[in-house]
Amino acid sequence: MAGLASMTARKARRALAPAAAHAARASALATVVALAACQPKHASQHPPQPGDEAVAVVNGQTIWASDVKREAVSEGLIAEGDPLDPASAQFRQVLDEVIDTKVLAAEAIARHLDADPLAQRRLAAARDRALEDLMIESVVSRAVTPAAENALYQDFLRNRTPTDDLRLRQIVVAAEPDADAIRKQLAAGANFDALAMERSIDAASRFKGGDIGEVALDTLPQPLAAALRNAKPGDVVGPVRVDAGWAVIRIDDRHPEPAPSLDEVKPQLIRFLTYDRIKDLVMKLEAHARIQRLLPPPPDVPGAPIEPASAPPLSAPAAANSASNSVR
């Protein structure tokens, strides 16, 4: 659920801003105008949620701390649920943007820009998008509970495929005979770090003694993963073909990869938990709505695959394992 970014006077002055960003901010301004038109003239100025703090008043309309936080989320400055201290510079910057939007929206109404038929269509579309977001948030709030999150997380832990983390060093050379020669030097007692600095052509690891850090075994290219599958700390393997040439590799450490925490995979779990609920709700609503599509069906393209009417979602274990891969 992507929120709409705010259009502000300050941002509008950034002539080099991408056109897409300006369009999104204009859409946000349309949302403000649309919702303002729906409010009574003497709208309640009570806090929209318990503990909310008034941070500004524009033409008699209160701006609450929650309004600023919602704008910060929509701009991608913070994640949903993250704190935003009203004393921080970031909060004050976003507050300025919310004020800009308020005064621009008020001026648009004063100039009767909202009365134009095309403007009315845009305002109606903006209101629909806002209501769509509210409906989805309602579904999410019911589907996503600590118990549901934990149940899916435990399912993931039971079904995940364990792998190992390896701390590796490498010496990369252009030709296989050179790699064979380096392997013999190491077997005769040569210092790996010194040889890496002297012979390796890999600029990223050469001056670190060939150290490439810690990597998960199942994320390595297949030939490299196969060569390292049964290797133990202290082993030297290779030569192995790599993109830059041939590598001789030493395993400094090896241990089971820890499972990602619930917090690390929570965004992916939430998407899985809510996917079915939202899809089913949309299908149910469309089944009872009077919908008439006026466009002709698309022309057949010879040889094109047939798209299924509805693709089933991932199973819970598969979805969670996918989540694990995405947080590495």
> Long-range contact list for 75-84, CB < 8 A, 24+ apart?
75/3, 75/5, 75/6, 76/5
pTM, to two decimals: 0.51
**Of 211, 193, 192, 210, which is closest to residue 201 (Cα–Cα)?**
210
Partners of 171 in the beta sheet?
248
Which CATH number does 170-256 carry?
3.10.50.40
Residue 306: the pLDDT is 62
**Of 93, 104, 90, 111, which is closest to residue 9 (Cα–Cα)?**
104
Residue 243: the pLDDT is 87
Residue 15: the pLDDT is 27
**Where are the chain's structural domains?**
9-130, 146-157+260-291+307-326, 170-256
Low-confidence ranges of the chain (pLDDT < 50): 1-24, 37, 40-43, 311-317, 320, 323-324, 326-327
Asked if 81 and 266 count as a contact pair (C-beta separation under 8 A), the reply is: no
Residue 270: the pLDDT is 81
